[in-house]
Amino acid sequence: MRNVAQNHARETKALADAVRRGEVPRPDIVLWPENSLDGDPGRNPELGSLVADSVRELDSPLLIGAMLEAPGERAYNAGQLWLPGQGPASWYAKRQLVPFGEYIPARSLLGGLSALQLIPRDLLPGTSTAPLDAGRVRLGDVICYEIAYDDRVRDTVRAGADLLVVQTNNATYERGIQAGQSEQQLAMARIRAIEYGRAVALASTSGVSAIVGPDGQVMDWLGTWRGGHLVERAPLASGLTLSEWLGVWPEVLLGAPALVGLALSLRRSRRSGAAAHTPASTARA
């Protein structure tokens, strides 16, 4: 995993060199994906120096993906924002953790089984929905499969995010028959862009990385298992969309008739069953 962090630092230096040559504009924000660091840069001097050097090299805010130490010998799967001249300024911890991946339900009973032994500790879910302030950009961070949950994205938009970021690591899901998960995440990101009128930047360790406009169109992208960087001018947006304003009500209204129909069907089935088993009697004169 240390090589992964070094790869991101190397690509950031390549971007800084391109800026100095005038090939691309200096970005307002630089994004690394989920698990771009396998530890806490505040506790690991080597990782801390690597990130600080990358921020200094480019002189731009940098959002990293790191495992930050948490109380009780646990950790947060987090996006941490570093600012030039300041270091780590704010962070977002993933709230929707993956069962049997980031924590083990009933660990005392199941924790010793097979591959579950490879998960030595449970991660701690975050609670904050506040955007990360990076100058003129207010980042709404959504980590990995949180993009699939309406309320996780809606919360950060309502809190004032003007750009959505998806930090993800698709290495486990891009091999053999499991390939294709990162394309699904890109499709979800496009839907969220349209729903909330926000551009979405998708940064992946090994899957698809992309920048999506507020209309859902992919502005630029990198395919799976490819190193590189993307530089695009993405619009910032504020205000509420119809989707954000309505919230879950369209789903409730569309789902209600199906639930009512199911309930009526079950009720009729119970009545038919009861009638079929009613004892009959006969009388003779």
| 213 in Cβ contact with 193 (< 8 Å) | yes
> 62-70 and 74-83 as β-strands: parallel, antiparallel, unpaired?
antiparallel
| 103 in Cβ contact with 110 (< 8 Å) | no
Alpha-carbon distance of 232 to 270, in angstroms, equals 60
Told to judge if 94 belongs to the known catalytic residues of this protein, a careful annotator would answer: yes
* CB atoms inside a 10 Å sphere around CB 251: 11
Name the active-site residue from 11, 23, 57, 94.
94
Chain-centroid distance, C-alpha 205: 13
Burial of 36 (0-12, 13-18, 19+ CB in 10 A): buried
Told to judge if 13 belongs to the known catalytic residues of this protein, a careful annotator would answer: no
Told to judge if 144 belongs to the known catalytic residues of this protein, a careful annotator would answer: yes
Name the active-site residue from 46, 73, 144, 174.
144
**Partner residues linked to 165 by β-bridges:** 141, 201
- What residues are annotated to the active site? 34, 94, 144
